[in-house]
Amino acid sequence: MNDDAIIQTTCPYCGVGCGISAQVNGNTRQVNIRGDKSHPANFGRLCSKGSALGETVELNGRLLQPKVYGRDAGWAEALDLVAGAFTSTIEKYGPDAVAIYGSGQLLTEDYYVANKLMKGFIGSANMDTNSRLCMSSSVAGHKRAFGSDTVPGCYDDYEQADMIILIGSNAAWCHPVSFQRIRAAKEANPALKIVVIDPRRTASCDIADLHLPVASGSDAIVFNGLLHFLSQQNALNKTYIDAHTEGFSEALNSAENSSGSIEQVAAQCLVNIDDLRCFYQWFAAREKVMSLYSQGVNQSSSGTDKVNAIINCHLATGRIGKPGMGPFSLTGQPNAMGGREVGGLSHQLAAHMDFSSADDIDRVARFWGTHAIARKQGFAAVELFDAIHDGKVKAVWIMGTNPAVSMPNADKVIRALQHCDFVAVSDCIANTDTTALAHVLLPALGWSEKDGTVTNSERCISRQRALFSPAGMAKPDWWIITQVARRMGFEQAFQYRNAGEIFREHAALSGFENNAGHGLRDFDISAFAKISQHEYDLLQPVQWPVNQAYPLGRARLFDDGQFFTPSGKAQFIAIEPRPPVNPPDKNYPLILNTGRLRDQWHTMTRTAIAAKLNQHKPEPSVEVHPLDAQYYALLPGSLAVINSQWGSMIARVQITGSQKQGSLFVPMHWTEQYASQGRMGALVNPVVDLVSKQPESKHTPVRIKAYQPVWQGFILSRRELAVTGSEYWVKIKGEQVYRYELAGETLPEDWRSYVRKNLCRTAGENSQWQEYQDLAKGNYRAALIFNNQLETVVFISAGNHLPERNWLTGLFIRPQLEPQERMALLTGMPPLGVPDAGIIVCACFNVGEKTIRTAIKEKGLKTHQEVGQCLKAGTNCGSCVPEIKALISS
């Protein structure tokens, strides 16, 4: 690799799919990350997570060598073992006794070969992926309406729309670059209406003209009500309905019968009737309407119906396939779309073909040259882990996902894997809650070393390119899979030498018997079937289809009113709204909602490495409405235990009027690696949607009560510690410091020896501590200094009388402590006249809350733009703008 080369690649996090321009020094593993100005997904912008990628490429914590039953091994041994275990299980119990569980974070090429191995050659469709937990309701809704899994629109529509509805999407945090683009579109065109439909008032409401805090799970009622309203107002497009759709009258009947009057809809959805009417009127009056939706829609036992209820309203008004309008499923993972293209879900086969068609099965079998092809769909995620639990599936290979955390009823998933005969896990990180359960660990290349393609929400295929040479012995996922395939006796079909060869085959299959590019199937990238390795290396972002008819790709589909159903017409689906399967009851009276925070990615295996990203929300939290907090006697900043029928967790209470009364919100991110009791998946009910089999992760009945430890405390330490003797702990990596938040259930007799023995064991016995102990009050404070640099501080309190952590944390980056700082250490507060930045608000420029408050007050700043000019805060990714605005108004 050249010194300081610039490499174009793609962000490995969300489905916005931002292009990155990486300046690398290949010898040092240093990289300077910038947004790629030429990439159509972001035009140079990045969010906090993308900007911090350079901090996540370190080798510390990486899985660098294969491991077999806990010991280091060579590749040959590990691959032989996986192939042997799969082969012998198949011989004894048949192909349905093995399974692969993949991920929308695999590259298309990795995914393609995993799917081909399982469905084409092992002959079982037991290949499912975490996309089942993510996009499968959208996939099913698209298939029902369009006959194909097609996202019709594109990002360019944002600027052209008259109204954008965010349904169950917190795009401000989860699709930040798209959200900032919508914000800019609104600033340029104040007439653009933004409506947010979400039980919570989220950061996305910052740009909203209207927020509908609907009851959990009630979206199908809202959109059935809208269809009814449009009909009453004569706001339907009859010409479009007649020419391009089928099933309208059944759908309208259902909508009328189920929704009733607007008053009834508002009452069922628990929203203000005037707000609801306003939304309906806006929708009726505007032609260019986009409905952007995400997990608040998909992750529901009626997720597929919610999707179709939304699509119905677009079909009834003919608002699809044209600029500025359409239903738009925001995909979550960087390659959620690529996974759908290769057929990663267990009911799909490949290249947008599936098991419902004998012709598809025959076609794919001929293309792959196999007689062993699976003929029926396999287990979907929840069924799959149940089958492992019940011993029906005896060998499983997990790739690029962390089901011990992210699956519903996750404690059962752990038990299932503990008792499974054979578990192989491919990951790039050594210690995760799932790698802990593996018999064989296969080290995969990480983002900065991988090569291949991903597809974003708007069907745009982009290259991920390697920045560095492989870490340790790590290998590309496609390589690992093909090596196992060859060892299982499928040499001929898995002879790839690089990702480009796989991409060409994938492209060829998409065009195979697909009517010379004029489309039996929507997904067609046959224009790439013969590209050279050089062309693959230079591939620029392009939106599929890319074929004879559309050699340069296609921004929008369905502009011609032609769909991929047998009749060529789009299908209305009659929707009978259903409430969530498990309603709250007297034992579990509250609804648990789960989702994402701004600066963490899923199970934190990568984002928690970047100190910058851990400052915004450092601990597992639970958002509680003020009246619920009062009722359950929960104090702000205290700890609470949340229980469901399936499991429990402990989280820090955050009281907020943004939360709907009767419902709690917890972030999905914490694992056993970072918190003792923060793994929320343990609580989540394993109920699934009947059509899509996607779990209802946004609605679990729970109860909450105060957790009352006898002491609480924190430790800041330059070195990572092995903390025992604290029932509750959270580990937070900071800049040159590890922070541990602690709470315990027994009061030790002597704090000094307890701390040394259980909490800070790495500090030498003879080290010189500054100490303060007040046994009567149960307070203990200590600090350890080496070479006039802070090494450790410990603060323990029998109540929760602890100072804020920011000032002390900031001292760890100081080359030398000032005398007055040393003196102030055990007070935990900065010496007089020294400013304290407060909690970090802007992660991009490290600007704290107190700094912003002071500037607002002293300089009389009135807008977030003025704060930006003064402190830079909020001027990069913009995702902290809502918080800056809240500080200004307070």
As given in the structure block, the two tokens for residue 723 are: 């903390």
Task: Assess 623 for contact with ligand MGD (CB under 6 A).
Answer: no
Give Cα 281 distance to the centre of its chain: 33
Q: Which stretch binds ligand MGD (CB under 6 A): 194-202, 240-248, 617-625, 815-823?
A: 194-202
Which residue shows structure tokens 């307890």?
A: 754
17: partner contacted, choices ligand SF4, Mo ion, ligand MGD, none (Cβ within 5-8 A by kind): ligand SF4
| CB-CB contact of 470 with 65 (8 Å) | no
- The amino acid present at 555, given as its one-letter code, is A
Q: Which of 186, 596, 612, 652 binds ligand MGD (CB under 6 A)?
A: 596
Nearer to Mo ion, 21 or 697 (CB): 697
Interaction partner, residue 697 (Mo ion, ligand MGD, ligand SF4, none; CB < 5-8 Å by kind): ligand MGD
The CA angle 683-688-693, to the nearest 5 degrees, is 135
Structure tokens at 756: 């040394």
CA atoms of 197 and 202, how far apart (whole Å) = 10
Which residue, 155 or 780, is less far from ligand SF4 as judged by CB?
155
DSSP 770-831: EEEEETTTTEEEEEEEETTEEEEEEEEESSS----SHHHHHGGG-SS--HHHHHHGGGTSPP
How far apart are alpha carbons 49 and 606 in whole angstroms?
10
Minimum CB distance to ligand MGD, residue 365 (Å):
28
Give, as ranges, the residues between 683 and 712 that touch ligand MGD (CB under 6 A). 684, 697-698
Assess 178 for contact with ligand MGD (CB under 6 A).
no
The listed partner (Mo ion, ligand SF4, ligand MGD, none) that binds 167, CB under 5 to 8 Å by sort, is: ligand MGD
Q: Judged by CB under 6 A, does residue 668 bind ligand MGD?
A: yes
When the beta carbons of 206 and 219 are compared against ligand SF4, the nearer one is 206
Given a contact cutoff of 8 angstroms between Cβ atoms, the answer to whether 350 and 343 are in contact is: yes
Residue with smallest beta-carbon separation from Mo ion: 332
CA nearest neighbour of 290 among 152, 188, 180, 173: 152
CB of 293 to ligand MGD, least distance (A): 8
Site membership for ligand MGD, residue 795 (CB under 6 A): no
Closest to 470 measured CA to CA, from 445, 442, 452, 451: 445
524 neighbors 516 (Cβ within 8 angstroms): no
Q: How far is the CB of 165 from ligand MGD (least distance, A)?
A: 10
From ligand SF4, ligand MGD, Mo ion, none, interface partner of 46 (C-beta below 5 to 8 A by class)? ligand SF4
| Residues 6 or more apart in contact with residue 726 via CB below 8 angstroms | 676, 740, 742, 743, 744, 758, 759
Residue of 135, 137, 136 whose CA lies nearest to 573: 137
Least distance (Å) from ligand SF4 to the CB of residue 457?
A: 10
Instruction: Outline where DSSP puts E strands in 298-371.
Output: 326-329, 348-350, 353-354
For the bound state, the minimum distance from the C-beta of residue 46 to ligand SF4, rounded and expressed in Å, comes to: 4
By C-beta, is 607 or 806 nearer to ligand SF4? 607
Nearer to ligand MGD by C-beta: 388 or 794?
388
Q: For ligand MGD, which stretch binds (CB under 6 A), given 184-192, 195-203, 534-542, 806-814?
A: 195-203
Q: Does 167 bind ligand MGD (CB under 6 A)?
A: yes
Between CA 809 and CA 825 the distance in angstroms is 11
Rounded least distance, CB 444 to ligand MGD, Å: 3
Q: Taking the complex as a whole, how short is the minimal distance between the CB of residue 409 and ligand SF4, in angstroms?
A: 28
Instruction: Round to whole Å and give the CA distance between 230 and 283.
Output: 9
Q: Lay out the site mask for ligand MGD across 213-252 (x = CB under 6 A, - = otherwise).
A: -x-xx-x---------------------------------
420 vs 687, beta carbon nearer ligand MGD: 687
Instruction: Name which of Mo ion, ligand MGD, ligand SF4, none residue 603 binds, using a CB cut-off of 5 to 8 Å depending on partner kind.
Output: ligand MGD
Number of residues that make up the chain? 890
Residue from the set 36, 109, 198, 696 that interacts with ligand MGD by CB under 6 A: 198
Least distance from C-beta 306 to ligand SF4, angstroms?
24
465 contacts ligand MGD (rule: CB under 6 A): no
Q: Is residue 868 a contact point for ligand MGD (CB under 6 A)?
A: no
List all residues 6 or more positions away from 380 whose beta carbon is below 8 Å from its beta carbon: 128, 132, 136, 345, 346, 347, 688, 693
| C-alpha dist (Å) from residue 25 to 147, 187, 479 | 48, 39, 26
Compose the 117-156 pattern: x for residues touching ligand MGD by CB under 6 A, - for all others: -------------x--xx----------------------
Amino acid identity for residue 837 in this structure: A
Among 147, 332, 686, 878, binds Mo ion (CB under 5 A): 332
Site string for ligand MGD, 6-25 (x = CB under 6 A): --------x-----------
Taking the complex as a whole, the smallest distance from the CB of residue 598 to ligand SF4 amounts, in Å, to 10
Closest CA to 732 of 808, 784, 665: 808
Residue carrying structure tokens 């029998």: 798
Can you give the binding site for ligand SF4, defined by CB under 6 A? 11, 13-14, 16-18, 42, 46-47, 49-50, 176-177
789: burial class by Cβ within 10 Å (0-12, 13-18, 19+)? middle
Closer Cβ to ligand MGD, 202 or 510, answer by number: 202
CA atoms of 200 and 220, how far apart (whole Å): 17
Cβ atoms of residues 466 and 447 within 8 Å: no
Q: How many CB atoms lie within 10 A of CB 32?
A: 12
DSSP state for residue 520 in the 8-state scheme? S
Choose among Mo ion, ligand MGD, ligand SF4, none what residue 18 binds, the Cβ cut-off being 5 to 8 Å by kind. Answer: ligand SF4
Cα–Cα dist 826/771, whole Å: 8
Kindly state the smallest distance separating residue 372's Cβ from ligand MGD, in Å.
Answer: 25
A 10 A CB-CB count for 578 gives: 16
Query: Six-digit token pair at 638?
Result: 């205290």
Residue 598's binding partner among ligand SF4, Mo ion, ligand MGD, none (Cβ under 5 to 8 angstroms by kind) is ligand MGD
Q: Give 13 or 754: the residue with its C-beta nearer to Mo ion.
A: 13
**Closer by beta carbon to ligand SF4, 16 or else 154:** 16
CB of 18 to ligand SF4, least distance (A): 3
CB of 201 to ligand SF4, least distance (A): 22
12/448 Cα distance (integer angstroms): 9
Residue 136: both structure tokens together: 């499968």
Q: Do residues 7 and 467 touch, judged by C-beta distance below 8 A?
A: yes
Smaller CB distance to ligand MGD: residue 278 or 870? Answer: 278
Q: Smallest gap, in angstroms, from Cβ of residue 730 to ligand SF4?
A: 24
CA 21 – CA 6 distance, rounded (Å): 6
User: Nearest approach, Cβ of 332 to Mo ion (angstroms)?
Assistant: 3
- Decide which of ligand SF4, Mo ion, ligand MGD, none touches 698; Cβ closer than 5 to 8 Å per partner kind: ligand MGD
DSSP labels, 150-208: -----TTHHHH-SEEEEES--HHHHSHHHHHHHHHHHHH-TT-EEEEE-SS--GGGGG-
Nearer to ligand SF4, 17 or 213 (CB): 17
Q: Evaluate whether 265 touches 276 at the Cβ level (below 8 Å).
A: yes
Positions 118 through 177 that interact with Mo ion (CB under 5 A): 134
Q: Which residues bind Mo ion (CB under 5 A)?
A: 134, 332
Q: Which residues bind ligand MGD (CB under 6 A)?
A: 14, 103, 105, 130, 133-134, 167-171, 173-174, 197-200, 202, 214, 216-217, 219, 294-296, 299, 332-333, 399-403, 405-406, 426-429, 432, 444, 446, 450, 477, 593-596, 598, 600-603, 605, 668, 680-681, 684, 697-698
